[in-house]
Amino acid sequence: VNEAPGSTGAEPWDVLVVGAGPAGTAVAGGLAAKGYRVLVAEEHARVGRPVQCAGLVSRRVLDLAGSSSMVVRPVRGAAVFGPSLRSITFRADGPRAFVLDRAALDVHLAERAVRSGAEIRTGLRFDRLLGPPNGEAVAELTTSEGAPVRVAARLVVGADGVASAVARAARIRRPVEILPAFEAEFPKSPGDPDQVEVYLGRTIAPGLFGWWIPDGSGGARVGVAVDADGTPARLYFERLLGRLATRFGSPLANPTSYVVSGIPIGELPRLHGDRVLLVGDAGAQVKPLSGGGIYTALRAAELAVEVGGAALAAGDLSSRGLAPYTTRWREELGDEFRRALYLRRILTRLSDAELDALVDALGGGSLAGTIVAFGDIDFPTRVVRELLAASPSLVRLLPKALGAWVAPGRAYPVPEVDPGERRK
């Protein structure tokens, strides 16, 4: 897979995919299977490396990938810890999520794309787009030896992750927040290998949360994703390690690898341009309440294959011809994303005392059962709505707008009130 030579001759490619992460190779495989000539350019030397992910996914990801060979551990439950380390545990009878060998997922998807006829060239970095928007797209790239390469293609797919150079080149606006993330792997860790742990608190992870995820071989992946407030994410990570030392009674030692990356949160006004589609992190197709983006990248890739394939067949690769991609994404996941962004804005404004109260309230009565019954890591706002409907005490903790959102008889609208005005 890795060293397939890229032909950059005069004959244009149908599709140039930039980035060999899950989004890129899923699009490449789908379009190659439809008979199009597809080149994937990946700047790193190896597909799947370096790993920049905790690798926790739903069963949908295994279905979309067509394999479960990369699963290292199914998990049945989750424990959520408030700032004071009071916690609530949810546990289902069977697997509710899967911890993956993330590099193995990427390699599997890349091999599938190659089997479908796509060509993957590693060590090839996309730099910019040339040419008039209505002509064929000409991309300038650079090999790892520093040699410039030009590739002409009818369609360019930006699957180049959080800092998308394709989005920049195509002048597609990305009004997203990029949450700095810091993660390390510990070869040995105490803790229940059947569950993941989530840590809330303004001092350890303002903006999102910290996590402890069993790695399937006695160790754990530990990390934080936080607001970009100028404080290095590593500092929050060190504080999380302090919490874990308190929780486990001994510090975690000898980390083997570190991940320093970013998670894009937000909604792009459009995910397409003339001859360009953005897929995955490049299009901020990342779940706003968890920062998870593998399921959404793979689902977006399917939509990109359908719309991109139809546009290639019709010979209309204009922004208008590709617009159904943005429309279909919005129809399918737009409401979930907007509700999640709204909830995120509320949650990020809660004080540590309020977060503790939230954890206590979730632990009360039958709410834990509701979470187990309705919890879906890909569509988390569904369970939030069930919880709010079931618990007046929970609603009291949160702004009035949220109460209105779950009032009986209302449809499932996206609240309009900006909670930022209410809490600081």
Ligand X SMILES: Cc1cc2nc3c(=O)[nH]c(=O)nc-3n(C[C@H](O)[C@H](O)[C@H](O)COP(=O)(O)OP(=O)(O)OC[C@H]3O[C@@H](n4cnc5c(N)ncnc54)[C@H](O)[C@@H]3O)c2cc1C
* 15, 200, 240, 263: which one binds ligand X (CB under 6 A): 263
User: What minimum distance in Å lies between the beta carbon of 100 and ligand X?
Assistant: 8
* 159, 170, 244, 333: which one binds ligand X (CB under 6 A): 159
Of residues 246, 226, 244, the one with CA closest to residue 235:
226
- Give residues with Cβ within 8 angstroms of 122, minimum separation 6: 2, 3, 20, 42, 44, 45, 46, 47
* 107, 114, 297, 317: which one binds ligand X (CB under 6 A): 297
* 1, 14, 17, 22: which one binds ligand X (CB under 6 A): 22
Nearer to ligand X, 208 or 317 (CB): 208
Residues 210-229 that bind ligand X (CB under 6 A): 223
Stretch that binds ligand X, among 14-22, 235-243, 244-252, 383-391 (CB under 6 A): 14-22
18 belongs to the binding site for ligand X (CB under 6 A): yes
Q: Mask of contacts with ligand X, 71-90, x by CB under 6 A?
A: --------------------
Stretch that binds ligand X, among 184-192, 245-253, 286-294, 314-322 (CB under 6 A): 286-294
Q: What is the DSSP letter of 134?
A: T
* 20, 371, 395, 398: which one binds ligand X (CB under 6 A): 20
* 6, 19, 82, 207: which one binds ligand X (CB under 6 A): 19
CB 7 within 8 A of CB 152: no
What is the DSSP code string of 70-117? Answer: TEEEEE-EEEEE-TTS-EEEEE-SS--EEEE-HHHHHHHHHHHHHHTT
CA–CA separation, 78 and 91 (whole Å): 7
Question: What Cα–Cα distance (Å) separates residue 361 from each residue in 28, 251, 339, 388, 403?
Answer: 46, 30, 21, 11, 16
* 6, 29, 30, 55: which one binds ligand X (CB under 6 A): 55
- Give residues with Cβ within 8 angstroms of 33, minimum separation 6: 116, 117
Q: How far is CA 298 from the centre of its chain?
A: 10
3-state secondary structure 246-296: HHHCCCCCCCCEEEEEEEEECCCCCCEECCEEECHHHHCCCCCCCCCCHHH
263 DSSP β-pair partners = 179
Nearer to ligand X, 189 or 261 (CB): 261
Q: Please, is 249 exposed, middle or buried when counting C-beta atoms within 10 Å of its C-beta (0-12, 13-18, 19+)? A: exposed
CA–CA separation, 291 and 179 (whole Å): 9
207 belongs to the binding site for ligand X (CB under 6 A): no
Structure tokens at 19: 């980035």
Residues touching ligand X, count (CB under 6 A)? 39
* 1, 15, 23, 355: which one binds ligand X (CB under 6 A): 23
CA–CA separation, 114 and 107 (whole Å): 10
Nearer to ligand X, 294 or 384 (CB): 294
CB 8 within 8 A of CB 150: yes
389 belongs to the binding site for ligand X (CB under 6 A): no
Nearer to ligand X, 44 or 270 (CB): 44
Nearer to ligand X, 60 or 345 (CB): 60
Nearer to ligand X, 195 or 370 (CB): 195
Q: What is the DSSP letter of 420?
A: G
User: What minimum distance in Å lies between the beta carbon of 351 and ligand X?
Assistant: 26
Nearer to ligand X, 280 or 308 (CB): 280
329 belongs to the binding site for ligand X (CB under 6 A): no
| Prior bond of 206 cis (ω within 30°) | no
CB 101 within 8 A of CB 221: no
Stretch that binds ligand X, among 242-250, 255-263, 343-351, 403-411 (CB under 6 A): 255-263
Residues 171-190 that bind ligand X (CB under 6 A): 181, 183
21 belongs to the binding site for ligand X (CB under 6 A): yes
* 27, 31, 39, 54: which one binds ligand X (CB under 6 A): 54
Give, to the nearest 10 degrees, the angle between helix 380-390 and helix 367-374. Answer: 150
Residues 116-145 that bind ligand X (CB under 6 A): 125-126
Q: Which residues bind ligand X (CB under 6 A)?
A: 18-24, 41-44, 52-57, 125-126, 159-161, 165, 181, 183, 223, 259, 261, 263, 280-282, 286, 291-295, 297
